[in-house]
């Protein structure tokens, strides 16, 4: 059996190397005809990431050379790997399972009435909103009611469109560098050493909170027997020769800071764990896990809705939040709800409800695709990524994808994937796994929220009753569960559990009013 498989791979490799001129021309024509707005947006973001220090004409000249290589050499080599036939669904693979909370509660109770009052209104039923409901069930007294409002169905946004990993957040060096860069603008009063010291403190607090988040997730899954395909096998991130120095520094800083989930492994170990064929050491997040993200959200809601303190209303769009003397009035497509507290679990959608977050929470499009087949050597249950793509095996299907670009506030949640990026990520995957056969069945995009310093916000918006967890930069599974726990405890004025998101680091004022934010002492 293995001999036949090896022979097929050799035949496929030889056929790749003999892609005809006509096939290449046809491929280029197909790509050009299929280019859409999202492709050009992604191109602009890619140029900014790679050549931002070059003069503008030189940036685009370098991009033109890169693009020519991709469409004429790299991607055509993968023509024999990726099979695209007929209509490709834009439904994420995670949402092909029946959603138990679809059109809740009206699907099963046509006489259900929309509430007029609640203690807390949570806007959004993804990772954060479902976590808020779960922790409210766990902590709130019987006479205090929390209502979750979702404009579509639970997990229909970014929580159901991702790569299926419980991440340990970002590693120490990455957080330190993004925060440090932003401090140049918001804290010009600090000298270089003080700024570096403060950025390092931000990184450590972030990592510690993310590690605790991962432990709390595992504890909840075990305690309730959630069936969300959870498997804690780690996440391997391939690095190029040019990235080796940065990798060594990041691993050394992680160990020195005590944030040592992140480490460096040899290429042989990376191949054993993932099946990737690498020429250089890789980064490794030891405690990351794979799961079915939508089933996680649905499981949290199932547990929460068994209590009398939590209600869920789907397909209910929140249009405006208006303060009044008793708290707030939440205006929706189904009516209004008066409440004492509003919890924004809206991530990239937040600027459409709260204009102050324009340019503070940036909607960034990311995308993924899935299909049956894929590299034979790809191991299941482990996170896999290169510099510009991510992938994973889930049963008979392989999921792969790539980051994209910033979109306007009104385009948050956009499901318009770039076929160019799908092909590009598939070609990058071929470099690490060799030839493979993969049918493209599903292709989708979604938006995540980025902050200017790529550091999340967890806290009170107005110092009163508006709360938020957002700006998780594609690491929502590494922040949302613990973040929601801390907000629920603050609303209930409970202090018997650790609060891992101190205001001096995570409060929204860090972004909205940095001059008056209470920064950590240096």
Q: Where are the domains of the chain?
A: 2-77+363-448, 101-230+289-361+451-522
Q: Any idea what DSSP says for residue 89?
A: B
Structure token digits, residue 175? 């957080």
Which of 275 and 1 is assigned the larger pLDDT?
Answer: 275
Token pair 């120490």 is found at 172
Q: What is the pLDDT of residue 14?
A: 41
pLDDT grade for 12, boundaries at 50, 70 and 90: very low
Contact in structure between 509 and 483 (CB atoms under 8 Å): no
Residue 15 has pLDDT above 50, yes or no: no
Q: What average pLDDT does range 413-430 have in this prediction?
A: 91
Residue 44 has pLDDT above 60, yes or no: yes
Q: What is the pLDDT of residue 432?
A: 95
Tell me which architecture the domain covering 101-230+289-361+451-522 has in CATH: 3-Layer(bba) Sandwich (3.50)
Q: What average pLDDT does range 460-486 have in this prediction?
A: 97
Q: What is the pLDDT of residue 25?
A: 79
Residue 109 has pLDDT above 80, yes or no: yes
Give the model confidence (pLDDT) of 244-303 as tens digits.
999 999 999 999 999 999 999 999 999 999 999 999 999 999 999 999 999 999 999 999
Residue 400 has pLDDT above 60, yes or no: yes
Q: What is the pLDDT of residue 50?
A: 76
% helix / strand / coil in the chain, to the nearest 5? 40, 20, 35
Residue 504 has pLDDT above 60, yes or no: yes
Say how far apart CA 240 and CA 22 lie, in whole Å.
Answer: 32
> Residue 88's closest CA among 366, 425, 370?
370
Say how far apart CA 7 and CA 286 lie, in whole Å.
Answer: 35
Say how far apart CA 138 and CA 131 lie, in whole Å.
Answer: 10
Instruction: State CA 463 to chain mean position distance.
Output: 28
Strands (E), 77-183: 82-83, 117-123, 146-149, 165-166
Q: What average pLDDT does range 122-146 have in this prediction?
A: 97
Q: Is the dihedral of CA 192, 198, 200, 203 positive or negative?
A: negative
| CA dist 519 → 199, 203, 234 (Å) | 11, 14, 34
Give the other-Cβ count within 10 Å of 199's Cβ.
Answer: 22
Say how far apart CA 450 and CA 448 lie, in whole Å.
Answer: 7
Q: What average pLDDT does range 203-217 have in this prediction?
A: 98
What backbone phi and psi angles, to 5 degrees, belong to 444?
A: -150, 165
Task: Please indicate whether the domains covering 2-77+363-448 and 101-230+289-361+451-522 agree at the CATH topology level.
Answer: no
Angle formed at CA 98 by CA 95 and CA 101, multiple of 5 degrees:
95
Residues of the chain with pLDDT > 90, as a percent, come to 79
Q: What is the pLDDT of residue 79?
A: 67
* Burial category of 156 from C-beta neighbours within 10 Å (exposed 0-12, middle 13-18, buried 19 and up): buried
Say how far apart CA 128 and CA 134 lie, in whole Å.
Answer: 10
Residue 160 has pLDDT above 60, yes or no: yes
**SS3 at position 359:** coil
Q: What is the pLDDT of residue 78?
A: 66
Q: What average pLDDT does range 192-211 have in this prediction?
A: 98
Q: Does domain 2-77+363-448 have CATH number 3.40.1350?
A: no
Say how far apart CA 252 and CA 75 lie, in whole Å.
Answer: 36
pLDDT grade for 2, boundaries at 50, 70 and 90: very low
Residue 371 has pLDDT above 50, yes or no: yes
User: Please, which residues have CB within 8 angstroms of residue 92's CB and are 6 or more apart in sequence?
Assistant: 160, 161, 368, 370, 442, 444, 446
Residue 18 has pLDDT above 90, yes or no: no
Q: What average pLDDT does range 54-80 have in this prediction?
A: 79
Contact in structure between 202 and 176 (CB atoms under 8 Å): yes
Token pair 């009163």 is found at 464
């Amino acid at each position: 059996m293995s001999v036949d498989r090896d022979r097929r791979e050799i035949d496929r490799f030889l056929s790749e190397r003999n892609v005809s001129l006509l096939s290449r021309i046809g491929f280029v024509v197909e790509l050009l005809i299929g280019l859409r707005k999202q492709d050009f947006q992604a191109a602009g973001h890619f140029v900014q990431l790679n050549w931002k220090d070059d003069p503008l004409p030189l940036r685009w000249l370098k991009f033109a050379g890169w693009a020519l290589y991709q469409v004429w050499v790299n991607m055509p080599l993968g023509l024999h790997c990726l099979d695209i036939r007929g209509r490709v669904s834009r439904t994420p693979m995670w949402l092909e399972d029946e959603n138990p909370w679809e059109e809740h509660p009206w699907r099963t109770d046509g006489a259900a009435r929309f509430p007029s009052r609640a203690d807390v209104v949570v806007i959004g039923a993804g990772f954060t909103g479902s976590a808020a409901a779960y922790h409210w069930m766990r902590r709130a007294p019987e006479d205090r009611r929390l209502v979750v409002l979702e404009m579509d169905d639970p997990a229909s946004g970014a929580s159901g469109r991702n790569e299926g990993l419980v991440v340990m957040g970002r590693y120490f060096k990455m957080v330190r560098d993004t925060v440090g860069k932003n401090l140049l603008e918001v804290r010009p009063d600090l000298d270089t050493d003080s700024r570096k010291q403060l950025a390092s403190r931000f990184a450590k607090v972030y990592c510690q909170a993310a590690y605790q988040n991962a432990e709390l997730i595992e504890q909840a899954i075990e305690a309730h027997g959630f069936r969300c395909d959870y498997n804690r096998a780690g996440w391997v991130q391939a690095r190029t020769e040019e990235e080796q120095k940065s990798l060594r520094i990041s691993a050394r800083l992680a160990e020195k800071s005590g944030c040592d989930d992140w480490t460096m492994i040899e290429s042989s170990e990376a191949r054993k764990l993932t099946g990737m064929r690498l020429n250089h050491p890789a980064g490794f997040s030891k405690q990351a896990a794979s799961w079915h993200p939508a089933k996680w959200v649905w499981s949290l809601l199932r547990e929460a809705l068994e209590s009398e303190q939590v209600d869920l209303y789907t397909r209910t769009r929140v249009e405006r939040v208006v303060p009044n003397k008793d708290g707030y009035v939440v205006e929706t497509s189904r009516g209004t709800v008066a409440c004492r507290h509003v919890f924004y679990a809206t991530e990239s959608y937040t600027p459409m409800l709260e204009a102050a977050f324009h340019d503070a929470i940036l909607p960034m499009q990311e995308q993924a695709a899935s299909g049956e087949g894929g590299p034979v050597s790809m191991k299941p249950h482990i996170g896999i990524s290169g510099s510009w793509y991510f992938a994973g095996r889930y049963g008979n299907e392989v999921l792969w994808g790539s980051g994209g670009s910033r979109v306007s506030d009104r385009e948050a949640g956009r499901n318009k994937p770039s076929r160019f990026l799908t092909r590009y990520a598939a070609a990058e995957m071929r470099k690490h796994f060799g030839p493979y056969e993969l049918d493209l069945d599903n292709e989708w995009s979604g938006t995540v929220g980025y902050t200017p310093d790529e550091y999340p916000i967890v806290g009170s918006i107005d110092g009163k009753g508006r709360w938020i967890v957002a700006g998780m930069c594609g690491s929502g599974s590494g922040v949302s569960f613990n973040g929601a726990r801390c907000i629920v405890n603050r609303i209930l004025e409970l202090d018997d559990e650790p609060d891992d998101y101190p205001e001096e680091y995570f409060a929204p004022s860090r972004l909205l009013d940095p001059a008056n934010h209470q920064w950590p002492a240096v």
